[in-house]
Amino acid sequence: MRPLAYSRTGRGPWLGVLTLVFLCLTIALMSSAQEPAAGNQSEDLRKQIEDKNQEIRRLEAEAAEHRRAIEDLERTANTFASQIQGIDRTISRLTTSIRLTNTKISRANLEIRELTQDIQGKEESIGAERRHMASLVVALAAMDRETPLEIMMKHETISSFFNSVDQLLGVQAEIQSTLETLRTARAALQESKLKTEKKKLELSALAEDLDDQKALQLEERQERSNLLQTTKSQERRYQELLAEAERKREALEQEINALESGLSPEFDRSILPKASSGILGWPLPDPIFITQYFGNTAFARSGAYQGKGHNGIDLRASVGTPVFSSEQGRVRSTGDTDQSCRRASYGKWVLIDHPNNLATLYAHLSLVKVRPGDAVNRGELIGYSGRTGYATGPHLHLTVFASQAVTVTQMRSRTCGRLMTLPISPFGGYMNPLDYL
C-alpha cells in the first residue's frame, strides 16, 4: 500500500499524527529515563519502613513483658522492696513505650515520604497524560479541517482514503482511552492525598502520646525519689507511711460521710436510663479485670467506707494505661486531692456529665488530659491510670452517679487542714456501674 501524500498546501491529516508520534516518543523516553531512579528510592523507603516495623514488633513484645512483670509484682505483698521494684519496672516500661512511639513516629515520617513520592509520580503521570491529550486534540483538529469528500479527492486510491478514516477513528478512540486513564489517575491521586492527611494526623497523635509518656515517666521518677527520701529505704518506715495513709483515709472518709449524710437524696429517678449492658462503655482497653466490686464488698465490710459500701468499682490498670470516657458528654470538673491531703482520697480525678442523666467519675489518675467544659466523645482519651490518692497499687476507680445527685464542692478537711475539691453525693446517688457497662 502506498503511503498517503500531503496536500498541495503542505498541510494534511498526517501533520497532527506525526506531531503526536513525536510527542509520545519524547514522553516515553523521559519516563523510562526517570523510572530507575524513582524505583530505587521507593525500594529504599520500603526497606526502611519494614525495618521500623520489625523494631516496633520487638518493642511491643518488650513492653508486654514489662506489663506482665508489673502485674506479678502487684499481686505480691506490699513491701518497700516490691514498691520500689514496681516503680522501677514502670519506669522501664515507659522508657520502652517512649522508644516504641519514637519508632512509630519515624515510620510515619517514612510513610509520608513514600506517599509524597507517590503523589509526585501520579501528578507527573497526569501531566504527561494531559500533554498526550493535547497532542491528540491537535491531531484530531488537523484531520477535521477537511471534509471526507475533500480527503477522498486527495487520495489516489480508495484504500488510502479508508486508511485515513481509520486513522481518524483511531485518534478518537485514543482520546477516549486517555480520558479514562486521566479519571483513574485523578482518583488514585486523591486517594494518596487522603492517606497522606491521615498519616499526618497519626503523626500528630503520636507526638502527643510521646509528650504524655515523658510526663508519666517524670512523675514516676519523682514518686521514686519521694519514696526513697521519705522512708530512707527502710521497710519499717515504709509500713509506718502506709499506716499513716490508712489513718488519714479513715478520718477523711468520716468527714465526707458526715457531709454526704446531710445532703438530700431527692432527685428524679425516672429520668435515669434503665439498667442495660452497653449504656456505658468500659473506660479501659481490654482485657478488663475488676479488683473490687460495687457495694458491700469484703473491704467495705472491714469498715473501710464507714458503712456506706464501695461507691464504684476498681479496675486493674498499670500506671500509664489510657483511660477513656464511658460515654459522650461534657467535663464538669477535674481535681487533685493530693494537693490538699496526700494519699487520702481520689487523687487526680475527672467528672463527666452525660446526656443520659448519668455522670461518671474516674479517679487515681496519673495524668489528666481534659479540662472543665470540654466536650468528649465515647471512647475519647481523658487521662491515664495511676496510683494517686489512696491507692495501695495502681488502678482505676470508676463511680457512676445520677448527675442530678452529684455536686462538686470544697470542704476544709480537719484531717489535713486544707481546702479540698471533690465530688460528693447523697447515699442514694451512687449507681452500680455494672448495671450500665
* Alpha-carbon gap, residue 17 to 142, rounded angstroms: 9
3-state secondary structure of 93: helix
pLDDT at 330 (0 to 100): 97
Asked whether 357 and 272 are in contact (CB, 8 A), the reply is yes
pLDDT at 7 (0 to 100): 39
Q: Show the cell assigned to 402.
A: 445520677
pLDDT at 29 (0 to 100): 41
pLDDT at 37 (0 to 100): 56
pLDDT at 249 (0 to 100): 81
Domains and CATH numbers, the chain: 13-225 (no CATH), 234-435 (2.70.70.10)
pLDDT at 86 (0 to 100): 87
Asked whether 408 and 240 are in contact (CB, 8 A), the reply is no
Sign of CA dihedral 164, 169, 173, 178: positive
Q: What residues are paired with 322 via a beta bridge?
A: 384
For every residue of 34-83, DSSP letters joined together read HHHHHHHHHHHHHHHHHHHHHHHHHHHHHHHHHHHHHHHHHTS---HHHH
Cβ neighbours around 91 below 10 Å, total: 20
pLDDT at 343 (0 to 100): 84
pLDDT at 348 (0 to 100): 96
pLDDT at 30 (0 to 100): 45
- Residue 379 Ramachandran class (φ > 0 left, ψ -120 to 50 alpha, else beta): left
For every residue of 340-385, DSSP letters joined together read TSTTSS--EEEEEE-TTSEEEEEEEEEEE---TT-EE-TT-EEEEE
pLDDT digits (tens), the chain, 437 positions: 333 333 334 444 444 444 444 444 444 444 444 455 566 778 888 888 898 889 889 988 988 888 888 877 777 768 888 888 888 999 999 999 999 999 999 999 988 888 888 888 878 887 877 777 777 677 666 655 666 566 555 655 556 555 655 665 666 676 777 777 777 778 888 888 888 888 889 889 989 999 999 999 999 998 889 888 888 888 888 888 888 888 888 888 888 888 887 787 778 888 999 999 999 999 999 999 999 888 766 655 555 555 577 789 999 998 999 999 999 999 999 999 999 888 888 999 999 999 999 999 999 999 999 999 999 999 999 999 999 998 878 899 999 999 999 999 998 888 888 888 999 988 888 899 999 99
417-to-45, 248, 342, 420 alpha-carbon distances in Å: 61, 12, 12, 9
